[in-house]
Amino acid sequence: MGDIKDKVAIIGMGCTQYGDLWDKGVSDMIIDSCYEAYEDAGVGPKDIEAVFVGNVSSGMWTGATVTEALQLDRIPATRVENNCATAAEALRVGAFAVASGMYDTVLCVGFEKLKDYGSGALEMPGGMHPITVVGSAPSSFSKSAIRYFEQYKIPYDKGKEILAKIAVKNHANGALAPKAQFRRPITMEQALNAPIIAWPLGLFDCCPVTDGASAAIITRADKAKSYTQDYVLIKGLGLSVGRIDPFKGKFRPDVDITFWDETWVAAQQAYEQTGIKDPRKEIGSAEVHDCFTITELIIYESLGFCPRGKGPEEVEAESFTLKGDLPINTDGGLKCFGHPVGASGLRMIYELYNQQLGRAGERQVANPKLGLAHSQGGTPGMFQASVTIIGPRD
């Protein structure tokens, strides 16, 4: 396997406000996020040699949606998709395009417009299996919560409390993030007493469905300084795609839904590329795919931040709050930003980028070291898991 470490620089990033963007169309979101990235990088439309576009929700949007919005004139534009890891995938493919020497400067943008179509909770829309696709994302992940509680003998009330603490932590962080959809802290009582969405998951255990776009401009590491002094380097890019599709009723008896295997594999790839031996010590802040609180709990273990079954202890010890030794979801995560599926991965990297450059305001962590972004598409049983690690320039 080849090596991507320190070959590609992120020189500018942009992110729209996330939320119910009734007054913004897809073009508006693309323009807002990409022009923020242009200005940040000190580049203009004419510097962009190729575009990689992440979008999931429909076949309506293509690479041309971005060239049209930005009026980029007859350059290569490619839409990529990897479920909830789609935006991370746009960056990954873009990074390979730059590292190959094919292009110097590339725009990677992810966007999703879910709210125009009446979506409430990531119900499973058309295009999947007509018979075996039933139910919503919360329902898929609730089964992992039930198994996790069973496996580690966690009484129901205690389990609910651990999950609630994760939601409370993310809401506390999100309150400090100006672009988040939800900017208010919540209490344990609110989290515990919220209506049940898919038992045992309640309202605050679930991320919302949201509109948003995020963008990155990347270039060859040796060319970055010609644009800006403020940039970060890509250190590792892991991706692991499972081979079972629970959406088709497929489920193997050897699959354990209390651990995210694909996330573990993607993380190991990225750690090896970066040269990380002890992720808990070497990562300074992480943005992880907290589509549900149970997902985040299991992610702690699947990224190797703590041993299996020890996630609840770390939650009790507040290890992953802004004051903890490894702050996780410093911007409030999917819980507060919502989850515009094709955009979220680049929103996470946007937060890491700002942490690396000391721009995170009240959320700034003291020593950002290396930043890790984790996206995970799919459903327990099969994921498309992506781990992106970025770090400071030389």
Partner 1 sequence: MVGICSYGAYVPLYRLTREEIGKLMGTKGAGERSVAGADEDALTMAIDAILDCTTGIDRESIDGLLAASCSSPFAEKQMAAVAASALDFGEDILTADIAASLRGGMTALRMAADIVKAGSASKMMVSASDMRLGWPTSPQEANIGDGAAALLVGDSDVIATIEGCYTESSDFTDLWRPATDKFVHSWSDRFTLAEGYQPMMRKAVSNAVKKFGVTPADITKFVYNAPDARAHSGIAGALKFDAKTQVQDPLFNQMGNTGSAFPLMLLVAALEQAKAGDTLLVAGYGDGVDVMLLKVTDQIEKVRNRHGVLGYLQSKRMLPSYLKYLRLRHLFHVEPARFTPVVPGLAQLWRERDSLFKLHASKCNQCGWIDFPIRRVCPKCLSKDDYTQVKLLDQKVTVYSFSADTVAVLPEVTDPPLGRAIIDFEGGARLEIEMTDYGNIEDMKVGQPMEMTFRKLERQGDVAAYGWKCKPVR
Residues found near partner 1 in the complex (CB under 8 A): 117-121, 123-136, 138-140, 142-144, 146-147, 150, 196-199, 243-244, 246, 248-253, 255, 257, 381
- Distance separating alpha carbons of residues 150 and 187, to the nearest angstrom: 26
Nearer to partner 1, 44 or 135 (CB): 135
Strands 50-54 and 77-80: parallel
We find the least distance from the C-beta atom of residue 60 to partner 1, in angstroms, to be 13
Nearer to partner 1, 14 or 246 (CB): 246
> Residue 381 region, left (φ>0) first, then alpha (ψ -120 to 50), else beta?
left
> Per-residue DSSP letters for 28-68?
HHHHHHHHHHHHHHT--GGG--EEEEE--S-TT--HHHHHH
We find the least distance from the C-beta atom of residue 61 to partner 1, in angstroms, to be 17
- Distance separating alpha carbons of residues 212 and 83, to the nearest angstrom: 16
Nearer to partner 1, 39 or 156 (CB): 156
We find the least distance from the C-beta atom of residue 209 to partner 1, in angstroms, to be 10
Catalytic residue among 34, 84, 291, 306, which? 84
Nearer to partner 1, 49 or 123 (CB): 123
For 108-143, give one letter per residue: b (16+ CB within 10 A) or e: bbbbbbbbeeeeeebebeeeeeeeebeebbbbbbbb
- H/E run at residue 223: helix 221-224
Nearer to partner 1, 39 or 150 (CB): 150
We find the least distance from the C-beta atom of residue 196 to partner 1, in angstroms, to be 7
Long-range contacts of 55-62, Cβ-Cβ distance < 8 Å, separation of 24 or more: 55/79, 55/81, 55/86, 55/110, 55/111, 55/112, 55/342, 56/81, 56/83, 56/84, 56/86, 56/112, 56/341, 56/342, 57/112, 57/113, 57/114, 57/117, 57/125, 57/341, 57/342, 61/26, 61/111
Nearer to partner 1, 197 or 326 (CB): 197
84 catalytic residue (yes or no): yes
We find the least distance from the C-beta atom of residue 122 to partner 1, in angstroms, to be 8
Nearer to partner 1, 140 or 263 (CB): 140
- Distance separating alpha carbons of residues 343 and 89, to the nearest angstrom: 10
Within 8 A by CB and 6+ apart from 39, the residues are 12, 14
Give, as one character, the DSSP assignment of residue 168: H
We find the least distance from the C-beta atom of residue 148 to partner 1, in angstroms, to be 10
Catalytic residue among 171, 289, 339, 374, which? 339
We find the least distance from the C-beta atom of residue 381 to partner 1, in angstroms, to be 7
Longest dimension (CA), the chain: 60
Do 53 and 63 form a contact (C-beta atoms < 8 A)?
yes
So which residues are the catalytic ones?
Answer: 84, 339
